[in-house]
Structure formats: structure tokens, C-alpha cells
Structure 1
Amino acid sequence: MALIDGLRLEGIRGRVTADAALAPFTWFRVGGPAEVLFQPADADDLALFLQQLNPEIPVTVIGVGSNLLVRDGGVAGVVVRLTAKGFGHTVREAGNRVRAGTALPDKRLAAFTRDEGLGGFAFFHGIPGTVGGALRMNAGANGVETRERLVEAHAVDRAGRRHVLSNADMGYTYRHSAAPEDLIFTEGVFEGEPADPGAIQAAMDEVEAHREAAQPIRDKTGGSTFTNPPENKAWQLVDAAGCRGLRIGGAMVSEKHCNFLINTGDATGHDLETLGETVRARVLDTSGVRLDWEIRRVGRFATEASVEPFLGKG
């Protein structure tokens, strides 16, 4: 029996789709389907769905797919994708605070706070993701991180229970949160300080100019591939290992910024992951540094396919 036939959907208002293509939701434009895709109407709908879902069924959450690689065999269980209709709100609150839904693109949070005369958010203009992804991974750009602006995060757990986490509860470190993995963030409350909208726009323009000049933002890419190791820059290690422009199948290390992988047109998820692990193996050989993936990889490999970390060297 198909998984969707066994789901309890009493009172559910969101969209539930079986065998749903995920590649169109990712910037790489690769990967297999979701066994079931659920797009909740709002936080109440999400909580109700999770309360009714068999706890043995795995749940995977995706956003706009800017830092995501879906494997070719697809994703088992339920994939939850929050949409702007139910989770894309922005509300100015008392003082210098803003409440934002987790499907809101980071660039729109930057624009909203600019219009409200709130400073400290221009860095979000340079992050190609959503508020939810920023909360989960402490996203940052231009030397500023999400943890510096977050007051509290609202979430729903795997059993459909509501939670409110303080900044300290999130356990932030570089590109990482210690928040429980089963939490699905629904909104965040942030705090800035009064600032001139013109000055904020100038800062946003500077962020945009840097991205345009340094990153392959018009290609099918997944953003920064590896996190920066302590006292190192990932792109420099990749370059020193001779991997700039390296190709496997339809996947290529960007010539413009070699901490970016690119789908040149016909790459598979397997091509991209194999290329990433090839780069990790070469960096390990040349520098002794073990790069960690920043791109999130989800799902199953296609039949009889696999990719070993560091190609079996690590």
C-alpha cells in the first residue's frame, strides 16, 4: 500500500502529494521524488498533521533548496515544505523587533527591516535562503550571523507539540545550531536598532556587489559547499588542491569561486556528491584538512549507487 493511502488526514487543510518531484524546488535542479510531500496551510495545520502521523514515518524538512542536494533515489517518508502563503509573514513588533515566518526569503527580511528603519539585517540580503534555514544553521554573511539578531524561535516538534526557544536555547556555533533535529521552525523574532533606510540600502548594495563579483549566482548551484575550517578558508584549500574547474559528469567546481559546485546542465545528484567527496579527498591529501559539508544532502542513492565519504580515504 502506498504511504499516502495510510496517512490520517482528518482536518488537514494543506496540500498532500504522492511521488512529488523535488528537483524543481532545489537550486541544483537534481534529485529524486518525495514519497509524500506535505505543504501545510499554517503552523496549526502542521501541528495537526504531525500529531496524526505515525511516529515511525520519517520526516524531512526543506526550504527553498538553495543549500540542498537531493539524492537520485528520492526521499522516503514525508517531506515537509513550508510555503510563503502560510509562513512568509513579517510583522513589526514593539520596540525594534520583527516577527518573521520561516518561509520568508532572507532577502525579504532585509528589505522589510530597511523599510522599517531597523539596522543590523543587511547581511541577510546576501543569504540565498529562508528564515527557517537561517535559524537552523546560524546562517551568516559579511561577518554577521543569525545568532546576533535572534531573540526567540518558534517551532513544532515531531509529535506536533509547540516550542519557543530563546537565543541561548539554540546553542549556536559557526553554521550550526544545537536545537533538536526534529524541530520544524515556524517563525523567528529578531531585534535590530534604529538606522537610516538609505544607509541600510547602501549596506545591502555592498553585499549584493560582493556576491555578484565573487560568486556564480546565476548558475545552478547549491551555495557554499563546505564550511570554513578553523583558521582556513575552504575555497583556498580547494584551489590549492587543484580542484578549480574539476568536472565529474555534469558537475563542476566553479571557476569563479571554487567552494561552489555547479550543475552545468545534465548533472545528477550522484555526480555532484561524487565531485564533492573527490574534492574532500584531494584537500585531505594535500593539506591534511578534513572539509565538512555545508550543503545538506538528503534522501537515498539510486539503485546500486553510493558515494563514500572522502572516497573511502577518511
Structure 2
Amino acid sequence: MPFADLSSDIRAAAPDLRGRLLPNQDLSALTWFRVGGAAQLLFTPADEDDLAYLLSKLPADISVTVIGLGSNLIVRDGGIPGLVIRLGGKGFTEIAVEPGDRLRAGTAVPDVKVARAAADASLDGLAFFRGIPGSIGGALRMNAGAHGGETTDVLVEARGVTRKGELVKLSHAQMGFTYRNSAEATREIIFTSALFQGRPGEQAAIQAEMDRVTQAREAAQPIKERTGGSTFKNPEGGKAWQLIDAAGCRGLRIGGAQVSEMHCNFLINTGGATAADVEGLGEEVRRRVKENSGFELQWEIKRIGVAA
């Protein structure tokens, strides 16, 4: 059932809005799993000022959800009530090399493009982004990392907009990074850009490192399937994939969802899966791992929205 159309009310409250505001937009095509329901309102701001303007005019009782490239995301089948924001366009996709071996990127920039831009500029230290699916916004939110590097290792500062439409800048310390997470204080901020610190390097050596990361991903992860990133965080004292394998979950299916045979910390949509299939499979994996080893796996993939 469609959500109530709030677009006319929002446009009346924010008549100078420049971005796209669309009611009842299907989100399944915007997630790598290709599952999920609709957004009550989907907003793509023209730029940072446009985003701040809408948020400053948005009624307090309308919830706000931000999605990026959808690589690490399950949108539940009932969709997402309220306003869903997806950054895109020139205002959030620019990359610039700055003095002091630094690189600034909009938060809609895919992680892989940051790695490539750094390599082109002979900036070492950012090649690990080549192995992370998703965008810089998601990397900030969850301290994304791969192949020996994490966002916390290279971030100088992040810029964003609060729920009230205020522009803010957060230092590395204010981000409060922990393993695959950032501080609770960042929850209400919609990040718009980030500044990273690199170091001088040899372009050929950086490219070789990126090639190594690419080959490792292709050999070990089901990147050609409808999947997300790693499903569960590695618990202290264990590796998620080993615990899942030991619990007999490799290849396990629920509906159209399956634990990958290639890498069992990845769930895949084999075709026709619902969001409930994918999330239900993940919960069954958690149950079996807990029963088998005593470890309680924590979701790394974000699950948002309401059940159908």
C-alpha cells in the first residue's frame, strides 16, 4: 500500500527547493540486494545548501533517513516512512587534491573512485578504499575498512548538515571512530564531504597495491552477485566467516536468499528474494552460530524501514 503523499506539503513549506522530491519511490533498484519497498518521499538535493534549506524547513515530526549507494543496506519490504535522502549530482561527487598531500571528496563519491584519484595524484595510504563497496558517506558512518586500512586511519575532518539544517564540521576526534562504527553524536548529521590525509608515494606502487586488492576481492567475494558487503562484524576473538562455516551455514537458503558458497559472510539474492528472506536468513545464521559456538554475531549490514 502506498504511503500518503507529503510532497505538496513539503514544497509549500520549502518553496525555493531546487532538488528532486518524489513521493512513493521504489528503493529496491537503489540497493545492491535489489530488494525492499518504497520511500514515502525520496529527496535528491541539488547541493549542500539545498539540503540544509530543506532540513531547516522540514517539520520535526517527519523522520529522515539517508541512503548512499545501497551496498551495505537492506531496505525492508514495507519501505521507509518519512523523508529518504540520497545524495548525488555534482554537489556531492567532486574530488579535489589539496595542499599537504590531502584529498577532499563529496560523500556520494564511490570509495573506489577516491582510491583511483589518490593513485592518479601519487598519494599513498588510500588504496584500501579500492576494496570497499559503497560511498564515502557510508565509510564515514561505519568507519569502513578493508585490506589493512580503515577510514579512521586517514580522515582529517568531515563536513555535514544537522537535522535542523545547520552546517557543521567534525574533526577526526569528534567522529569517535570504533570498529565499524562512529560516535552516537554523528547519528543526526548528514555528511556532505570529507578530507583525507595521504602521503607521497610512487604511482606505480600504489596502482600495484590497488590491483592486489582488486584481485583479492574477485578471488574471495561474490562481487558479481546481488549482494551487500560483509554481513556481520568480526567478533572479538573470532572471524565471522569461520564461525558461520563451522555452524554449517555455507549455502544455507531461505526463499530466494542464500549464504554465499564462495564467502559465507556474504548473503546473496539468487533471484526473487524479498528483504524478509535476506534478513531472515541472516537471523537464522546468527541463531545457528550462537548455538554452535556461543558467539553472538552483530550485523554489519544496515537494516532499515518497516516490514511488509
The answer to whether the superposition gives a TM-score over 0.5 is: yes
Q: Hey, what does 1:305 align to over in structure 2?
A: none
In the alignment, does 2:200 pair up with 1:202? no
Matches of 1:42 and 1:84 in 2, distance apart? 8
Letter in 2 for 1:82: L
Quick check: 1:152 aligned with 2:185? Answer: no
Shift in Å, 1:2: 2.5
Amino acid at match of 2:204: G
**Paired position in structure 2 for 1:124:** 129
Instruction: Report the equivalent of 1:93.
Output: 98
Counterpart Cα distance in 1 of 2:32 and 2:246: 27
> Offset at 1:11?
1.0
The alpha-carbon deviation at position 5 of structure 1 amounts to 2.4
Counterpart of 2:188 in structure 1 is: 182
Where 2:235 maps in the other structure, the secondary structure is coil
Once residues 86 and 228 of structure 1 are traced to their aligned partners in structure 2, the CA distance between those partners, rounded to angstroms, is: 35
- Aligned partner letter, 1:281: R
Runs of 4+ in 1 over 2 A off after TM superposition: none
Q: State the one-letter code of the partner of 2:216.
A: H
> 2:5–2:24: 8 Å Cα contact kept in structure 1?
no
Secondary structure of the residue that 2:285 maps to in structure 1?
helix
2:293 is matched by which residue type in structure 1? Answer: S
Distance in 1 separating the partners of 2:47 and 2:7: 20
Amino acid at match of 2:5: A
Task: Report if aligned partners of 1:84, 1:104 keep a CA contact under 8 Å in 2.
Answer: no
RMSD: 0.8
Aligned residues: 302
Task: State the match for 1:311 in structure 2.
Answer: none
Match of 2:295 in 1: 289
State the match for 1:4 in structure 2: 7
**1:170 match:** 175
Matches within 5 A, 1:1-314: 2-7=5-10, 8-178=13-183, 179-302=185-308
Aligned residues: percent identity? 58
Gaps of 5+ in 1: 303-314
3-state SS of 2:238 partner: coil
Query: TM-score with structure 1 length normalisation?
Result: 0.95
C-alpha separation in 2, matches of 1:36 and 1:63:
15
Contact 1:120/1:149 (<8 A) preserved: yes
> Which amino acid is 1:5 matched to?
S
Preserved contact between residue 50 and residue 160 of structure 1 (Cα < 8 Å) = yes
